[in-house]
Amino acid sequence: GTGLQPALVLQGKRDRRSFAMSIGTAEATGIAFPLENRVPPRPLTHDLFLTLFGRLTVTVTRVIVTDLREGIYYATVILDAGGREIQLDSRPSDAIALAVRAKAPVLVEDRVFDKSELLPGAPPAPRI
């Protein structure tokens, strides 16, 4: 193999800070397909979840990348089930793949930017 691993780059809307997360090829495909308006011949797992949510009248309201601990990123998917909020623990790549399909915002806790290695050219994380 080439040894290249896909990365997901997230950039802050407010301050333009950015960082990259390494993700697997399958995860990259799951995120890239809807961004490229590509429709797979059969539903991918995230498509299946979104269809299921739709049938159950559950909506993805937002996704939050919550933490970075020991080199592992953590995320939460926030759902609305008839006015009741449900929080699901998730891998960030799965959470973002769902958010892209649901057109829901992807939020990142400040501490994730603070703990991440910021990409070159990105403003430094503020120190408080």
122 or 52, greater pLDDT: 52
pLDDT at 98: 97
Say if CB 84 and CB 90 are below 8 A apart: no
pTM reported for the whole predicted model = 0.86
pLDDT at 123: 54
Residue 14 has pLDDT above 90, yes or no: no
Task: Quickly state the pLDDT bin for 126 (edges 50, 70, 90).
Answer: very low
State the average pLDDT over residues 1-7: 73
pLDDT at 48: 94
> Tens digits of per-residue pLDDT, 53-109?
999 999 999 999 999 998 899 999 999 999 999 999 999 999 999 999 999 999 999
Print the SS3 string covering the chain: CCCCCCEEEEECCCCCCEEEEECCHHHHHHHHHHHCCCCCCCCCHHHHHHHHHHHCCEEEEEEEEEEEECCEEEEEEEEEECCEEEEEEECHHHHHHHHHHHCCCEEECHHHHHHCCECCCCCCCCCC
3 or 100, greater pLDDT: 100
